[in-house]
């Protein structure tokens, strides 16, 4: 089955309002010709979401994503932003369980699962991020860790929401480090993830699910990663902050379809 590649940019904690608007404008302009072949998305900081939505327009070939959310719709949760509020400001989707959330802010598999459930109930597309640390890989525990992250989150995905779930395999040791997993290393885990989904979900759901790779993807390594059978695109951090490199990665994704 051919799956439409997806390339999503995670802007992390970068960019003022003005810088976000300029970046969104440049990406929207530079990617028009790829819209038919590639699903594109950007995840700005919360404070830029409303303005980036305005720059992109209500109907855009670029999806607007939140970087995180809280599983309760409202209440006494100072400092948090709920998935329903993300939806209210025009987000199409949201990252859940990014490694920086798990490792710097202590998010557990249980909390990530609750977030997946709440975000899907709100109607958002969920990009579920998972991946092993360097020590877990060195101890030969990569699949044990990734399988547990996947299982505990999939439990929260009702059949009606399956097509709104995207998986991003992001080995922690490759995020922001300049060390990319080799295409073979990434493909191996992607195939295991798809196999696990095949075991759990009946029908052709596993063939349809989009599995992105993330971890120092750039305009030089994207083509080889996208040539792998189970790699359906990328979640891009650093290289999504420069329009030229992000657009080159999107171009590589569109060419992987030819």
Helix axes 49-56, 17-30, angle to 10 degrees: 30
170 is catalytic: yes
Shortest Cβ 202–ligand PEP spacing (Å) = 31
Helix (H, G, I), strand (E, B) or coil at 189: helix
Which residue, 159 or 176, has its beta carbon nearer to ligand PEP? 176
Query: How is residue 72 written in tokens?
Result: 């309760």
Q: 125-130 and 93-96: which strand pairing?
A: parallel
Contacts of 197 (CB under 8 A, 6+ apart): 150, 154, 205, 206, 209
Q: Which is nearer to ligand PEP, 117 or 170 (CB)?
A: 170
Least distance in Å: CB of 1 to ligand PEP? 26
Write down the least CB distance from residue 169 to ligand PEP, Å. Answer: 10
**CB of 250: closest distance to ligand PEP in angstroms?**
14
Closest separation between CB of residue 119 and ligand PEP, Å? 17
Minimum CB distance to ligand PEP smaller for 53 or for 102: 102
Q: Tell me the residue ranges of DSSP E strands in 148-249.
A: 165-169, 210-214, 233-236
- Residue closer to ligand PEP by CB (options 146, 206) is 146
CB closer to ligand PEP, 62 vs 225: 225
Which 3 state secondary structure label does DSSP give 118? helix
Instruction: Give the number of C-alpha atoms closer than 13 A to the C-alpha of residue 113, restricted to the C-beta side.
Output: 13
CA-based radius of gyration for the chain: 17
In this structure, what DSSP letter does residue 75 have? Answer: S
Per the CB < 8 A criterion, the answer to whether 153 and 131 are in contact is no
Catalytic residue among 98, 107, 132, 190: 98
End-to-end, the C-alpha distance of the chain in Å comes to 14
- Name the active-site residue from 100, 107, 170, 190: 170
Where along the sequence are the contacts to ligand PEP (CB under 6 A)? 10, 12, 170, 175-176, 214-217, 235-239
Q: Decide if 61 is catalytic.
A: no
- Which residues does the annotation mark as catalytic? 98, 170
């Amino acid at each position: 089955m051919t799956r439409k590649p997806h390339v999503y940019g995670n802007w992390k904690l970068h960019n003022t309002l003005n810088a976000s608007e300029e970046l969104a404008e440049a990406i929207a302009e530079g990617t028009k010709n790829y819209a038919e072949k590639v699903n594109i998305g950007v995840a700005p900081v919360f404070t830029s979401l409303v303005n980036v939505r305005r720059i992109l327009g209500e109907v855009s070939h670029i999806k607007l994503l939140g970087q995180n959310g809280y599983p309760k719709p409202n209440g006494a949760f100072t400092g948090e932003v709920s998935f329903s509020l993300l939806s209210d400001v025009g987000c199409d989707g949201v990252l859940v369980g990014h490694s920086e959330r798990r490792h710097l802010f202590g998010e557990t598999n249980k909390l990530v699962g609750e977030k997946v459930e709440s975000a899907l109930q709100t109607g958002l597309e969920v990009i579920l991020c998972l991946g092993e640390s360097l020590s877990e890989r060195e101890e030969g525990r990569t699949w044990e860790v990734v399988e547990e992250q996947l299982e505990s989150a999939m439990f929260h995905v009702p059949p009606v929401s399956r097509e709104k779930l995207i998986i991003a395999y992001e080995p922690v040791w490759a995020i922001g480090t300049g060390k990319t997993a080799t295409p073979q290393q990434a493909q191996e885990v992607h195939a295991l993830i798809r196999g696990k989904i095949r075991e759990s979900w009946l029908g052709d759901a596993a063939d349809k699910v989009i599995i992105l790779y993330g971890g120092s993807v750039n305009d030089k390594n994207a083509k080889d990663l996208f040539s792998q059978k189970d790699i359906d695109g990328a979640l891009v951090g650093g290289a999504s902050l420069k329009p030229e490199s992000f657009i080159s990665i999107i171009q590589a994704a569109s060419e992987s379809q030819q």
